[in-house]
Amino acid sequence: MKGLWISFEGGEGSGKTSLIEGLVKKLEERGLSYMVTREPGGVPLAERIRDVIMTRSETPMDPMTEAILFAASRRQHLVEKVLPGLEAGKIVLMDRYVDSSIVYQGYGRGLGMEKIRELNLFATEGHMPDLTFYLDLDPEEGLRRIHRNQREVNRLDEEGLDFHKKIREGYLILSKKEKRIHKLDASKSLEELTMEVWQIIKGLL
């Protein structure tokens, strides 16, 4: 039996992690087999690549280098963890996937959304989630949440507000193109969002 693959996308501080945690409780209450993972990372080699990408450095990283490193991390994570989990019939909840690269490197860094899509389709051999939830939030509020919650601040968090506004624009463009993407109002309470998403997921189980 093939599992169900759901990814979660959004700008910094949009609440993906909290939403996933709320959904895990729903799955556990019903005794459903699931797996939670994240990108970049998820498996040891991919986590090592994550450290290179996300750690602050005095040397600026070339945008294409950044895009290729994300794709390499994604490939390892996919073949080592995600695909085996789906083959085992698990519900895979993933914090970010290809859409993040299309938006952050393709649109945000100006490398071209289609070019980055092609790079990642090559890296993943076209494997895509069954459903993607995009948490739409004003970037200023997202950054306030990060600092308010004293969350680990990474290299992407430290980009200027204009960059984060561009990321939101990119996600809105992508969400209109992809039927797989379901846009959520991330300014709603966590309880409201969890119930909204859970009702959709239940329909697929």
Model pLDDT for residues 103-122, shown as the tens digit of each residue: 999 999 999 999 999 999 99
Helix (H, G, I), strand (E, B) or coil at 158: coil
**Is the model's pLDDT at 175 over the cut of 60?**
yes
> Whole-angstrom Cα distance, residue 31 to residue 26?
9
pLDDT at 157 (0 to 100): 58
pLDDT band at 1 (very low <50, low <70, confident <90, very high): low
Q: Percent of the chain having pLDDT more than 70? A: 95
CATH topology for 4-204 is: Rossmann fold (3.40.50)
Give 134's contacts (C-beta < 8 A, 6+ positions apart).
Answer: 9, 10, 99, 171, 174, 175, 181, 182, 183, 184
